[in-house]
Amino acid sequence: MSAFFGIHIASSALRAHQQALDVINNNVANANTPGYRRQQVLYQNGVAFPTPSLNGGWGAGQFGGGVQVMAIKRFGTDFLDARYRTELAQSGKYDVQRNILNQVESLLNEAGDEGLVGKIDSFFNGWQALSADPANTALRGDLRGRAEDLVAAFNSRAQHLRATRGEQDLALQQRVDEVNDMATQMARLNGEIATVVGRDQQPNDLLDQRDRLADRLAELTGATISNQPDGTVMASINGHALLVGTSAFKLQTVVDPANDNLLAVQWQTPTPMAYNGTTGEIAGIIDARDRIVKGQLDGLNTLAQTLITQVNTQHNAGYRLDSAVLGGNFFEPAVDPSGQNALSIQLNANIIADVGNIAAASNPNAPGDGNNAVLMANLQRALTMSGGTATFSNAYAAQVGSLALETRNAETRFGDRQAVAAALDQQREAVGGVSLDEEAANLMQTQKAYEAAARVLNAVDEMLDRLINNTGLVGR
Amino acid sequence: MRITTQMTYQHAIDRMQASASQMEKYRRQATSGKKIENPSDDPHVAVRSIQLRSAVATHQAYVDSGKVSQERLGVNDSALADLVSTLNRSIQVALQGRGDTLGASERQGLADEINGLLEHAVGIGNTTFRGAYIFSGFAINTEPYSFNGAAVTSHVASTAGPINNLIEPGHSLQVNVDGNAVVRPTLDALLGLRDALNADDGTAIGSSLAQLQSALEGVNAARTTNGARTRELTTTLDRMDKISLSLKSLLSSTEDVDMAEAIMNLQHAETVNQAVLQTAAKSVSQSLFDFLR
């Protein structure tokens, strides 16, 4: 056994603890990095030194050969990741929905005094007031003003709802781009990770990076990730592969003429097919846009169309002020071929030109006759909507109620899923997060071991010094 | 559970957010006075308050227009009352004129008085309310009667109307009096009496008297009907007012916040928020690094 063996042991200890110190340093440095998983060196005793001998008996053996770092362990959380991502996909879906619906809700502004129900009531109440004093020009003007308010309320609501649907194009496009970009990055990381794993090293930081992408991917699309033996991951959205090995299968957006020329999401390859995700932000946007907001818009259009038809019919049954001319249409257009009545509804030009053209009378040349106005006011309570079961106001109030319920559902589900996701993330963090106190303790421990190794080296050095410089000087 | 540095901070931030948003919720309630800001805060309350608000507005509209109808019925009544006193005076004159003791010149004097009463009655027939002739049915812009000294002319063929006002949902009430049925016989009887007096014809005076009495009956009947309508309207208006009031208080209890409760809640939330901030300030400042040399 060499006299320098001690130096070898001490230096292995210095080197191992130096490495450990660097790993701790890296942990501390990444204490605030999202998705960073703490790392730790795994020490292993060095190769033992057997005492050479022909037949043994030379003495004790074997001598430990110092320490070495076997691996740098990463505190991964694969077992929690899948569950966390499922919850994240749901909370992502309801998060975008609640944002869109909150916006719609404040645009529709039905909780205040300026709601559409109030405008409809005000319109019919205008007829009611006119019926008691049908020749009163001021009341006629007031009725026209109320009708203009109603028309404007329809128009602005329809515009807001359409704009809200249109704005989702940008949101979808951004997310599809993000998904494609992340799939590409993950494919590249798959390649690098497989190489590093092949060299029997630990691609810890690459894994962190890929996990971060996988989290966001799940939030966007609800993609499920499965680990492969070679270190790569596979990602699929509701059964359709998104990422296999180093190849990514991308999404694209196309204009859908069947849906108001809004963007539809598709798989690019092998042949374009409809996007099939049911959770995640993209599915949430599509659901909110094509089911909930569209439902509101359709309901508004139906309301406008029914109102136009009913009011026009009644108006054309009456006579203008002190005239034998029938009322004609009150609202225009009587029928909108595109079905966007709420957007296109306007007052008839005759009404705009002269309030005398409002037909309040049921008899010709009868300025004092307000019977047609009475019949018109009665429409307020007529069961004209929902297949003859609801009044205009009630039908719209029910529609507002259903939007409120959808919004509330989205809020509640987001809250629930978010809470579960947060709890799971906390568990992940408990396993893999950095605790500065713990690192401080480890730092102390490592530092002390390093100092001790240095001290041992000192002792060996002194021994050698004694041997080399101060031995065999007898008689000098 | 292993507690990490990020967890400590994140937890502190989450708690601060939660208590701040709770505080904000009560602050909004206290400043707006409303329980809900958006329908989704409570869909049930939202739909209920929309319906209540709609009912309040509708009731208010009926109450407002009901007052116009009330005025109109009042004008009808005073016109008819005026007509009754005119007729009563005419009947006295007719009774006086029928007496055989009167000579032609005295009857002439009475005829002059009747002529004045006739002009007055024509004026009553042409009464307007808010610029509309009340006895001319739908033709509110046409003066129904004119008198040129020799004959009374009707300018409106049909004065029946009916002019119906909606006084509550689904309930309409006729508010006009048919001038040709009520006023015209009075005018005709007065004209007949005047001419009979002028002609010094006792028999004709007698038949005019009968005409006057039947006209008076007609006017009184119309007045009774009008009075009954006024009562109906007043009862309805009272009811509408009461319903309107109870709807308003229902609306208020549905959507208005209990101020005392909101302020108590706000104060509680502020206390919680302060506690959260203090705890956070203490817990996040702890670190082992502080104690290592």
Residue A149 sits at the chain B interface (C-beta within 8 Å): no
Question: Which residue would you say has higher pLDDT here, A58 or A141?
Answer: A141
Among chain A residues, CA nearest to B41: A408
Looking at the DSSP bridge assignments, the partners of residue B253 are: none
> pLDDT tens digit string along B42-92?
888 888 888 888 888 888 888 888 888 899 999 999 999 999 999 999 998
Inter-chain CB proximity B139 and A403 less than 8 Å? no
Question: How far lies A397's CA from each of A151, A285, A340, B43, B199, in Å?
Answer: 18, 25, 20, 10, 75
Question: How far lies A405's CA from each of A109, A446, B101, in Å?
Answer: 15, 58, 92
What are phi and psi for residue A224, nearest 5 degrees? -100, 140
Nearest CB to A133 within list B53, B58, B130: B130
Among chain B residues, CA nearest to A128: B166
Residue A383 sits at the chain B interface (C-beta within 8 Å): no
Looking at the DSSP bridge assignments, the partners of residue A40 are: A73
Q: Evaluate whether A145 touches A234 at the Cβ level (below 8 Å).
A: no
What are phi and psi for residue A70, nearest 5 degrees? -80, -45
Give the pLDDT band of residue A427 (cuts 50, 70, 90): very high
ipTM over 0.90: no
Peptide bond into A367 cis (omega under 30): no
Among chain A residues, CA nearest to B170: A378
Inter-chain CB proximity A430 and B7 less than 8 Å? yes
Chain A residues touching residue B1 (CB < 8 angstroms): 426-427, 430
Give the pLDDT band of residue A53 (cuts 50, 70, 90): low
Chain A residues touching residue B164 (CB < 8 angstroms): 131, 370-371, 374
Task: Report the distance separating Cα A455 and Cα A371, nearest Å.
Answer: 111
Residues 444-473 of A with CB under 8 A from B: 444
Q: Evaluate whether B80 touches B177 at the Cβ level (below 8 Å).
A: yes
Inter-chain CB proximity B5 and A371 less than 8 Å? no
Locate the domains of chain B by residue range.
Answer: 77-242
> pLDDT tens digit string along A367-400?
888 899 999 999 988 999 988 899 998 999 999 8
| Residue A36 pLDDT exceeds 80 | yes
Nearest CB to A128 within list B7, B61, B292: B61
Least confident of A464-468, B56-60, B96-100, B207-211: B96-100
> pLDDT tens digit string along A434-458?
998 899 999 999 999 999 999 999 9
> pLDDT tens digit string along B21-35?
999 989 999 998 888
Give the pLDDT band of residue B151 (cuts 50, 70, 90): confident
What pLDDT does residue A330 have? 94
Chain B residues touching residue A31 (CB < 8 angstroms): 5-6
Give the count of beta carbons closer than 10 Å to the beta carbon of residue A276. Answer: 13
Chain A residues touching residue B65 (CB < 8 angstroms): 128-129, 131-132
Question: How far lies A351's CA from each of A138, A154, A183, A327, B208, in Å?
Answer: 14, 18, 60, 9, 52
> pLDDT tens digit string along A308-353?
999 999 999 999 998 899 999 999 888 888 889 999 999 999 999 9
The mean pLDDT of chain B is 88
Nearest CB to A433 within list B6, B34, B68: B6
Whether CATH 2.60.40.1120 fits B77-242: no
Least confident of A51-65, A80-94, A412-426, B145-159: A51-65
What pLDDT does residue A386 have? 86
Give the pLDDT band of residue A403 (cuts 50, 70, 90): very high
| Residue A269 pLDDT exceeds 80 | no
Give the count of beta carbons closer than 10 Å to the beta carbon of residue A226. Answer: 10
What pLDDT does residue B47 have? 87
Q: Evaluate whether A128 touches B57 at the Cβ level (below 8 Å).
A: no
DSSP labels, A359-395: --BSSTT-TT--HHHHHHHHGGGS--BTTTTB-HHHH
The mean pLDDT of chain A is 91
- Residue A199 contacts by C-beta under 8 Å, 6 or more apart in sequence? none
Chain B residues touching residue A419 (CB < 8 angstroms): none
What pLDDT does residue A55 have? 67
What's the one-letter identity of residue A87? E
Give the count of beta carbons closer than 10 Å to the beta carbon of residue A434. Answer: 25
Inter-chain CB proximity A111 and B172 less than 8 Å? no
Question: How far lies B196's CA from each of A32, A152, A379, B105, B188, in Å?
Answer: 116, 67, 56, 13, 12
* Nearest of A354, A294, A302, A360 to residue A327 by alpha carbon: A360
Residue A369 sits at the chain B interface (C-beta within 8 Å): yes
What pLDDT does residue A460 have? 92
Question: Which residue would you say has higher pLDDT here, B292 or B70?
Answer: B70
Nearest CB to A102 within list B2, B38, B53: B38
Nearest CB to A105 within list B38, B57, B131: B38
Place of tokens 């006729």: B174
What pLDDT does residue B226 have? 93
Q: What is the mean pLDDT of residues B88-98?
A: 88
Task: Report the distance separating Cα B172 and Cα B193, nearest Å.
Answer: 39
What pLDDT does residue A54 have? 67
| Residue B177 pLDDT exceeds 80 | yes
Q: What is the mean pLDDT of residues A235-251?
A: 93
Edge to edge, the sheet with strand A224-227 lists A224-227, A233-237, A240-244, A247-248
Chain A residues touching residue B72 (CB < 8 angstroms): 132
Q: What is the mean pLDDT of residues B234-252?
A: 90
Give the pLDDT band of residue A56 (cuts 50, 70, 90): low
What are phi and psi for residue A358, nearest 5 degrees? -75, 125
- Residue B289 contacts by C-beta under 8 Å, 6 or more apart in sequence? A436, A440
Report the alpha-carbon angle A378-A390-A370, nearest 5.
5
Residue environment code for B43-81, b if the CB has 16+ CB neighbours within 10 A, otherwise e: bebbbbbbbbbbbbbbbbbbbebbebbbebbebbbebbe
What pLDDT does residue A57 have? 60
